[in-house]
Chain A
């Protein structure tokens, strides 16, 4: 292997590009396959599928990944025959192509430091592809394959020096590729950025000149002109900000694309007929948000398919079309993105949820509303599925889904009607870097309360605030008693006033329920740039991050859920 070590080193800088491109081709392959009309395949689509396989093969062998090239080689042969109409497109061909695509994806992951793919699995897939390509229905052919072909499957990997050790269990010796995340940005966007920076530089020099003139000459500073240029600076800054943010944006289709396959596989496993419809795939969200909503969304889709949609027999008995529909929609609403998962299944069962809650000893209010009951499924360890399947039903899901989404500064809402289906909407911020906040004052300190948690704010009447022995105070708001959380008590600060009727109560909705935060005053709503407190300090209880205000000072952003939780415990011992 030593002779090509240098060669491999030279290529390794292109590996990241290969990984990204191959990943895209594989995703593309899957989308195309699932979108195929089985009976009347479009030749353009068949060509596109062939091209995807061909591109992977080409770059895999160029960049030194013969294992992937081996799989795609045979796949290409098969797809070529389908494309030339020598073979009829069948469910089997789609299936084996999907299986091959999974193997390729795993091989790709293995090269990026993941677990190695078992050689037997690869051999099996290749054998099956060959059998189908040869028009042979005998898949048992795999057993009697010539021994020399095995050599093709083995992975002479650049990072492993001794090829003899590359056997089934030697995968651990593969050193993981360093995880370098990169973004592919269109040249247009970069050009736009450069233009904006150019404008910024011009504005800056104009401003400097205006200021300089005022300094050196006896003439007074032309304030009108200064004002004009400051406005220009503001516009430049805003445009630049939007432009930079847009680089981090990705269309939600990058998450949505994986669901047709998921739904297809699950439906097959559960013997249900399900169609997945997606709308608004072009909606763009921050990459960071995309990465973090993939798991919750997958979970919700699994739930819809497993619990929501009924079996064909049940659906027909209820007078519904045999094919269930799961709809996935994304759209922009104000400063946030709303993702909706709707199914036309059986809906949530009020009585069953109530019975389950009583069994589990979960608190349910007297004469609960529908919303109260739907909230139950977000309680930890709650599942109403009669049988635990490997698809879902362990009840470890919805509470985690809700927590993950709330950590992103988003919210989950649920609507359901018995027999008609369930709709779950997720409201997410466009970006993780900026958020809307309410600036509040407590004594001399300013804090930011995330706007997504605030329901309303009000000044209570003295008679609405009641004290409850041993557990603090409650406030009566719109027919409900809410716990009163005095921020100055939680944080050990000196407030302007200890009387709630002289301050402001902010009603917040958190995962620990609703509460009324007692602060001195509201200072106004503003957009804040989130700055990590932990990069140079450590986590502070009740604080999620910091931000920089217009005057350059630092303000802390509250972690409202944590503040409410802290207030339920005895006051923190101050470490001074």
Chain B
């Protein structure tokens, strides 16, 4: 993963994002939330859990739940190949792994490069999108991973009910 070089000579001061592919789309998340990137390994199924929660793995003695974002958002086929990776996230003192098709790059974006997303409908609604950015003709959807992972429909955190 090569760092993106500033194209116009002036140093970039913006935030860094890790980009990854889900099906045909490209997403970016705040790199400070990423703990590590691992290969997909066999998980232990959790009983009575939603299908997109694949199960838990043993990450050096810590039990970490694994969420398949492709299944959550019905993007691409949820196949597990040698390239399937798990991004281990550190979100509000919790460790969670998300399955994605592949990790692409680390990009730096200035605030003015991030555009507001138009109103969207569907599973990934605008609450979870920080904005859209264009990078070498490609559109990157910047995800607010913290809000997404803590939202009740991810069923990761004990809800009040």
Contact = CB atoms under 8 A, between A and B. Distances in A.
Contacts of A548: 58, 61, 63
Contact of A575 (B49, B55, B57, B96): B49
A556 B47 contact: yes
B56 A546 contact: yes
A575 B155 contact: yes
Interface stretch (A35-43, A166-174, A512-520, A535-543): A535-543
A491 B156 contact: no
A573 to B, nearest CB: 9
B65 A556 contact: no
Interface string A480-493: 00000000001111
Interface in A515-537: 531-537
Contact size range, A: 20 to 34
B127 interface: no
Contacts of B51: 576
A365 interface: no
Contacts of A540: 46-49
Interface string B40-81: 001111111111000111100111110000000000000000
Interface in B1-49: 42-49
Nearest to A491: B47
A543 B49 contact: no
Contacts of B115: none
Contacts of B61: 531, 548
B62 A531 contact: yes
Interface in A345-404: none
A202 interface: no
B48 A554 contact: no
Contacts of A543: 46-47
A536 B46 contact: no
Contact of A554 (B49, B56, B95, B159): B56
A538 B157 contact: yes
Nearest to A537: B65
A574 B61 CA distance: 29
Contacts of B42: 553
Interface size class of B (residues with CB under 8 A): 20 to 34
A523 B51 CA distance: 27
B135 interface: no
B58 A536 contact: no
A552 interface: yes
Contact of B45 (A445, A490, A536): A445
B120 interface: no
A201 interface: no
Interface string A82-108: 000000000000000000000000000
Given A492-B48, A537-B156, A553 B64 contact: no
Given A532-B63, A553-B42, A537 B56 contact: yes
A556 B156 contact: no
Given A535-B94, A536-B95, A548-B58, A492 B47 contact: yes
Nearest to B97: A536
Contact of A534 (B58, B62, B158): B158
A310 B65 CA distance: 57
A455 interface: no
Contacts of B63: 531-533, 535-537, 546, 548, 554
Given A539-B158, A556-B47, 7 more contacts: A543-B46, A548-B61, A553-B58, A554-B56, A555-B44, A575-B155, A576-B51
By Cβ-Cβ distance, the 7 closest A-B pairs, closest first, are A538-B158, A491-B47, A554-B44, A537-B65, A576-B51, A548-B58, A546-B63
Interface of B: 42-51, 55-58, 61-65, 94-96, 155-159
23 contacts: A445-B45, A490-B47, A531-B63, A532-B63, A534-B158, A535-B62, A535-B63, A536-B64, A536-B94, A538-B155, A538-B156, A538-B158, A538-B159, A540-B49, A541-B47, A543-B47, A548-B61, A552-B58, A553-B58, A554-B58, A554-B63, A555-B44, A575-B48
Interface of A: 445, 490-493, 531-543, 546, 548, 552-556, 572, 574-576
